[in-house]
Amino acid sequence: MSEQGIEQKYIKEAFDTNWVVPLGPNVNGFEKDLEAFVGQDKKVVALSAGTAAVHLALIGCGVGPGDEVCVQSFTFCASSHPIKYLGATPVFIDSEPDTWNMDPELLEQAILDRKAKTGKYPKAIVPVALYGMPYDCERIMAIGKKYGIPVIEDAAEGFGSRYKGQVLGTFGEYGVLSFNGNKMITTSGGGALICANEEQKNKIMWYATQAREAYPYYQHEAIGYNYRMSNICAGIGRGQMTIVNDHIAHHHHVQALYAELLKDIPGIHLHSAPNADYDSNYWLCTITIDPDVRIKGQENAYKETIKSAVGGAAGVIHQVDSPTTDCQPNENIEALRIYMLEQKIEARPLWKPMHKQPVYADCPAYVNGVSEALFKVGMCLPAGPMVTDEDVQYIVDQIKKAIIR
């Protein structure tokens, strides 16, 4: 039976048995599939989003008002927003240049500085597997252990990535997964939290189901959340789990193909793992472009404000008065994005560092300039399961055509 056939089977069973709710056999089965995949005797709770998983992991670590949490700055906002949900303060940590992820040296400096300034250590550490690339698990976990600070691994982009052969999300106190529509596998929306043991799993599941007490009526003694995954979405996930290794292999293949086709283009550099310890899923393939590379239409970059959502954004966006900010990609990156879009190719800038986001202007940040420099010169290229070898060739051909010689 095909992947789609398996998904449809589980979804049909959900309707036939009237399990059209945020619990049920598919949710239980999906959690078991995930536990088998991540290994290390871990337990998994399926949730409505990866953001929900970050939020509940922070609660599980005891984060509350007035606390501080060390979090990678070079990431999507879902890594840091839940810290603010809890009345805590993100302490942003810049990246090291090889993996683009949390710099362990800066992390330790930040921990010691926060202790000196506030009288207490941060309550948690949140490294992120940016674009699927593993962080330095060994050093970050050692730092967390040294100061007694739990590590929440944000592996939302790194499902199936490994560090020294071990699946990301299984090193720390908790591991965050995402199954959004653009991730390695999808449940349309959804996420999961990897927990250390059954007791931890039950605590997280309790918070995810409105924190109800054991009475024959609804009794609440703590604030809970409606964060469980639906049985329908979990049915899709169970089907996706049958081909997850195929998806990972495909992303590796696309990365290798980009490497071969881009290697002789001056000024274009494909980001790759620094050594064999870092086994990235290459969720997205990313490039940096030297500032002196000239792109067709570059003279018109940032001349007009954006009128609609770009880069996969959904829902309502605020209109802006100026097309520029004080931290943005170089004109050649923006020109290439527009050129590629005209060729029906969606290419995106890298994540804008959180310490440069206006909403976090008052938060502490320990920076070395790496993430800001990468944001100015970096771009994400298509790499999903529907991207064919012919697509990659076309994408590279268009990059070549966009460059002015």
**Residue range 205-253, pLDDT digits in tens:** 999 999 999 999 999 999 999 999 999 999 999 999 999 999 999 999 9
Residue type, 389: D
State the pLDDT at residue 3: 61
Closest residue by Cα to residue 209 from 193, 223, 225: 225
pTM of the predicted model as reported, rounded to 2 decimal places: 0.94
Confidence bin at 137 (pLDDT 50/70/90): very high
pLDDT tens string 251-265: 999 999 999 999 999
| DSSP states along 18-55 | T--BSBSHHHHHHHHHHHHHH-TT-EEEEES-HHHHHH
pLDDT at 312 exceeding the cut of 70: no
d(CA 77, CA 395): 28
Annotate 185-199 with b (16+ C-beta within 10 A) or e (fewer): bbbebbbbbbbbeee
pLDDT at position 286 over 80: yes
CB 279 within 8 A of CB 162: yes
pLDDT above 90 covers what percent of the chain? 88
CA distances for 61 relative to 117, 204, 377, 379, angstroms: 22, 11, 36, 34
Query: Lowest mean pLDDT: which of 132-141, 230-239, 257-266, 390-399?
Result: 230-239
**Structure token pair of residue 30:** 């999906």
pLDDT at residue 14 is higher than 80: no
User: Which CATH architecture fits 3-243?
Assistant: 3-Layer(aba) Sandwich (3.40)
Q: CA-CA distance, 362 to 66, in Å (whole number)?
A: 14
Residue 38 reports pLDDT greater than 90: yes
Q: Kindly provide the b/e burial profile for residues 361-399, where b requires at least 16 CB atoms within 10 angstroms of the residue's own CB.
A: eebbbbbeebbbebbbbbbbbbbbbebeeebbeebbebb
For the chain, the residue count is 405
What CATH homologous superfamily does 245-402 map to?
Aspartate Aminotransferase, domain 1 (3.90.1150.10)
Give the pLDDT band (50/70/90) at residue 6.
Answer: confident
- Is 20 a residue whose pLDDT tops 70? no
Residues contacting 24, CB < 8 A, separation 6+: 14, 17, 231, 234
CATH 3.40.640.10 in the chain is located at: 3-243
- Give the least confident one: 14-18, 20-24, 189-193, 291-295: 14-18
Range with the poorest average pLDDT among 16-20, 194-198, 250-254, 390-394: 16-20
For residue 32, pLDDT beyond 60: yes
Answer yes or no: is pLDDT of 146 > 60. yes
Please report the pLDDT score of residue 323 as a whole number: 87
The pLDDT confidence band at residue 330, using thresholds 50, 70 and 90, is very high
Average pLDDT over the chain, rounded to whole? 94
**Neighbouring-strand partners of residue 270:** 287
Band of pLDDT at residue 347, cut at 50, 70 and 90: very high
Q: State yes or no: pLDDT of 56 exceeds 70.
A: yes
Contact 284, 251 (CB under 8 A): no
Q: Give pLDDT, residue 84.
A: 98
pLDDT of 131 > 70? The answer is: yes
User: For residue 158, what pLDDT band results from cuts at 50, 70 and 90?
Assistant: very high
Q: How confident is the model at residue 170 (pLDDT cuts 50, 70, 90)?
A: very high
State yes or no: pLDDT of 104 exceeds 60. Answer: yes
Place of tokens 């472009």: 289
